[in-house]
Structure 1
Amino acid sequence: MQERPKRILLIIGFIGSVIVIGLAMYIVFFTESPSTTSNGEPVSTTETPTGSLTPSLDGTPGSGNGLSTTNDGTLPEAASIADGGITKTITLTSAPVQNTTLSKDGNKINFYNEDDGFFYTIDKDGNIVKLSNQTFPNVQSVEWNRDAEKAVMVFPDDSKIVYNFQTQSQVTLPKHWEDVEFSPSSDNLIAKSLALDPNNRWLVLSNDNGSNVTSVQALGENADKVDVSWSPNDQVIAFADTSSIVGNNSTSGFDTKVIYPVGKNQENFKGLVVEGFGFSPSWSPSGKTILYSVYGDYSQGKPLLWLVNGTSASMGENRHSLGINTWVDKCTWSSETIVYCAVPQNLPSNAGLQRTLYENRPDTLYKLNLTNGRNEVVAIPERDTTMSNLSVSADGSSLYYTDAFSGQLKLIKLK
């Protein structure tokens, strides 16, 4: 072929290629995707960008295990009744509450409202009634009796009163009495009488109006090592954490110490051998067993729950770990054999030594069956929640708690 025709063909081929490429680019970048298919059905235009993170469910706790999805790939909805997964919570109060306790009938919660100084009771449907028309401004702490009809109130200046909500009457207690609690029958009080002179510091008992005071146990310089805790069976009134480490337990391999129960009538009960530090007790409803938390090297410094016999005949026997890392004051007894506990998620090592650094961790609700030793997750609150002051209604249908973030009283339906 001669040179001129060849050159013309090359030019034509080049122009054709440019046209084809330009047309292809126009189709890719400037034409819209069809809004319907050939049979008239709409085409979805929502896509998950490649390489982007999947959005998380708002407020779900970060357990580190991820959330399971339903068969269609969507996240599960919060259950209205606790079934072991994400569970709805019901907010009962709009304002923060303090000093909550289960009412006498076992189905309502008594609480103090710092904003107006009144005490109220509220049921699971949110119906609120004043317990008294008298106001109590700036109450610092409250200790209720067993039936939630009387309360020891402490004020910022250390003044203290006992108020009877049934008779709407009050009596004043000595300012130097500390850690005042009611007896199981509610007819008596126990307190630490802390005089300026250590030789005059005693654990004392009195009537519920502060009269007829009896000294039970000298405290001296150890008042801060004595934990007032009157047993439901009326045998033990306190625990003394006054011993040092007694050595390594050859059976468990843990460092151990002895906690001394203080008898109401000055009985010499057998000491409780515990593994670790930070002993804090909670009596079962009958007083037969003691739930407590301690921490040590064996638990990586995390608080660990233990159970032990607590009667005068079997004190200290059948001690065993429950394998749950939480503090005992985040637990509540539902019956003699069932305990519910708020367990912090992803609790780090040494949390027991510095609780204030980790007390706002979101919690998961566990049920502990002390008969068969089974621990199970009951509920994961639908939003990250730190739970405190747990109480279970008498019929076992509702669990009340205070949200540590908002201070509001909330509820989880158990059945």
Structure 2
Amino acid sequence: MGGFILSVFVIAFMLYALFFRSAPPAPTVEEVPEIPDLVGLPGSTEAQPRESGAQQGGTAGLEPADDVARGGLTQTTELTTGAVFNSILNGDGQTMNYYNATDGRFYTIDEDGTVVALSSAQFPQAQDVQWNKDSNKALIEFPDGSNIVYNFDTQRQTTLPAHWEDFDFSPVTDEILAKNIALDPQNRWLIITNEDGSKTQSIQALGENEEKVNVNWSPNDQVVAFASTAQAIQGGLDRNVIYPVGKNQENFKGLVVEGLGFDSVWSPNGKQLLYSVSGSYSNDKPLLWIVDASASTMGDNRRSLGLNTWVDKCTWSSSTTVYCAVPLNLPSNAGLARAVYQDKPDVLYKLDLLTETSTLIAVPAEETAMNNLQVSTDGSMIYFTNTSGQLELMRLK
């Protein structure tokens, strides 16, 4: 009888557990906060966004910015509160010279932000400025067509003819290259003159092609300009020939370029030319190229460097090292409408021409365009102007 009663209780408990007992509570699901995208790691030819990881300690967040460029987010320092113009590395290799349009004066500034006026003289509404090789003389063009050369060491100025324009200083002397734009096209010439306008020499007739000639004096003193006067050659509408203009009227071999919008920067020794063009092969994005460009090697070893950027966003640190600002997510056809994309945020690349490798070395902690790049002589820092035109500094080592 007792066994029967025990069996009844056991069966009753099992039925209760099976049908009436409440289910255990479901496990708690903790919602993980979304990690925002950061700019960063590029593809093979253009910069692309990357995803950030969580900070150490297990909490999600943005990776900390480094004080020195090591490939990730990197701190930069704003040196000026307002926009600067025509900035260039000073002759000491460490400080920067620039023009302040607000008061019309020229200044130099160091890495700590200490500003010193180069002169008390004012040059209101300066339109363009070219610096000599030592950065102690400036050739200043004004909207009314007047041109002066100002020597900051002697605090003296020289006036040049108003019909001269598009100037460039010699990389080895203080001679000046200019276009003599006379009323009669037959009298328009590319000229070389002393800084005071004396001993003027005619180098190359321009005719009605002055807009197709870009002054660009080579460091080895052989080439003074490039002429885009040829028609498209066989192989497609994008293929063109750019003619180097010799200082002594040498007949250099033309450079074949695969695209439009040719612009270039010489290597410090004048043996190579870094340039950018845009073509259908690059979806009309600007693409960097390098080519040998001495008198005996002109046009040899032409090759793409695989970076979608404009060459004026690059600067040579040595004859084998180049730093370039590369825009993020540059769309197709950007090379045909640069003004639309000139304020896109950039990341910084280092190009090693010995190994022909490009390395992402910095993503500015604050998104910004990077223009007018200048590397200090010791390679420890790079100056640039940001989206607002302010001068900034980034540590490279």
Q: Could you state the TM-score of these two structures normalised by the residue count of structure 2?
A: 0.88
Structure possessing the higher radius of gyration over alpha carbons: 1
- Which residue does the alignment assign to 1:29? none
- Which residue does the alignment assign to 2:159? 172
SS in 2 for 1:78: coil
- Which residue does the alignment assign to 2:168? 181
Verify the 8 A CA contact 1:186 1:208 in the aligned structure 2: no
Verify the 8 A CA contact 2:132 2:174 in the aligned structure 1: no
SS in 2 for 1:380: strand
Shift of 1:78: 0.7
SS in 1 for 2:214: strand
- Which residue does the alignment assign to 1:408? 390
SS in 1 for 2:50: coil
Verify the 8 A CA contact 1:247 1:255 in the aligned structure 2: no
Letter in 2 for 1:271: G
Picking from 188, 213, 216, the partner of 2:203 is: 216
SS in 2 for 1:352: helix
Picking from 229, 232, 236, the partner of 2:223 is: 236
- Which residue does the alignment assign to 1:282? 265
- Which residue does the alignment assign to 1:136? 123
Deviation sequence 1:178-216 (CA, Å, 0-9, x none): 111111123211101111111111101111111111111
Shift of 1:56: 3.6
Letter in 2 for 1:306: W
Q: How many residues align?
A: 361
Determine the C-alpha separation between the residues in 2 that align with 1:76 and 1:235: 49
Picking from 366, 370, 374, the partner of 2:349 is: 366
Identical aligned pairs, as a percentage?
55
Which range moved further: 355-364 or 72-81? Answer: 72-81
- Which residue does the alignment assign to 1:319? 302
Structure 2 unpaired stretches of 5+ = 1-28, 41-46
Determine the C-alpha separation between the residues in 2 that align with 1:229 and 1:83: 33
Determine the C-alpha separation between the residues in 1 that align with 2:49 and 2:75: 20
Verify the 8 A CA contact 2:54 2:62 in the aligned structure 1: yes
Whether 1:91 and 2:78 are equivalent positions in the alignment is yes
Determine the C-alpha separation between the residues in 2 that align with 1:336 and 1:92: 28
Whether 1:291 and 2:291 are equivalent positions in the alignment is no
Determine the C-alpha separation between the residues in 1 that align with 2:380 and 2:185: 49
Verify the 8 A CA contact 1:60 1:382 in the aligned structure 2: no
Structure-2 change in CA distance of 1:357 and 1:48 (3 Å)? farther
Whether 1:350 and 2:333 are equivalent positions in the alignment is yes
Letter in 2 for 1:108: T
Determine the C-alpha separation between the residues in 2 that align with 1:240 and 1:158: 24
Structure-2 change in CA distance of 1:315 and 1:60 (3 Å)? closer
Verify the 8 A CA contact 1:60 1:383 in the aligned structure 2: no
SS in 1 for 2:300: coil
Determine the C-alpha separation between the residues in 2 that align with 1:172 and 1:280: 29
- Which residue does the alignment assign to 1:78? 65
- Which residue does the alignment assign to 2:107? 120
Letter in 2 for 1:197: D
Letter in 1 for 2:123: F
Letter in 1 for 2:250: E
- Which residue does the alignment assign to 2:34? 54
Shift of 1:269: 0.6
SS in 2 for 1:308: strand
Determine the C-alpha separation between the residues in 2 that align with 1:255 and 1:294: 9
Shift of 1:75: 2.2
- How much is the aligned-residue C-alpha RMSD, in angstroms? 1.8
Picking from 214, 219, 228, the partner of 1:227 is: 214
Verify the 8 A CA contact 2:36 2:52 in the aligned structure 1: no
Letter in 2 for 1:336: S
Deviation sequence 1:237-290 (CA, Å, 0-9, x none): 0000111111118xxxx9421110000000001111111111101000010100
Verify the 8 A CA contact 1:402 1:408 in the aligned structure 2: yes
Shift of 1:375: 0.4
Determine the C-alpha separation between the residues in 2 that align with 1:206 and 1:102: 24
Picking from 255, 267, 270, the partner of 2:253 is: 270
Structure 1 unpaired stretches of 5+ = 1-46
Q: Could you state the TM-score of these two structures normalised by the residue count of structure 1?
A: 0.84
Determine the C-alpha separation between the residues in 2 that align with 1:369 and 1:185: 26
